[in-house]
Amino acid sequence: MLLTRQNKALKIHLVVDACGNPIDFLITGGQVHDVKVAPQLIEQNKQVLSKHTEALSADIGYDCDELRGVN
């Protein structure tokens, strides 16, 4: 989490490939839960991800039943 000069929290949600190269990102307020952002990032990048992706990895903040079944 980042803090702005006004001490407001920001989060950067990042999609990278297997080599760590950035594919997409989304900046949200610090109060936005990771689980709420993941479906949007996956949907926005579905065309790229579906070509090369067998599995997704994420930290525990993105862990929920709804995301485990995303195809």
pTM, entire model: 0.73
- How confident is the model over 27-57, as pLDDT tens digits? 999 999 888 898 898 889 888 887 777 777 8
pLDDT bin (cut points 50, 70, 90) of residue 4 is low
- How confident is the model over 8-23, as pLDDT tens digits? 899 999 998 888 899 9
Rounded CA gap, 45 and 53, in Å?
11
- Specify which residues 24 forms β-bridges with: 15
CB–CB of 28/13 below 8 Å?
Answer: yes
pLDDT bin (cut points 50, 70, 90) of residue 25 is very high
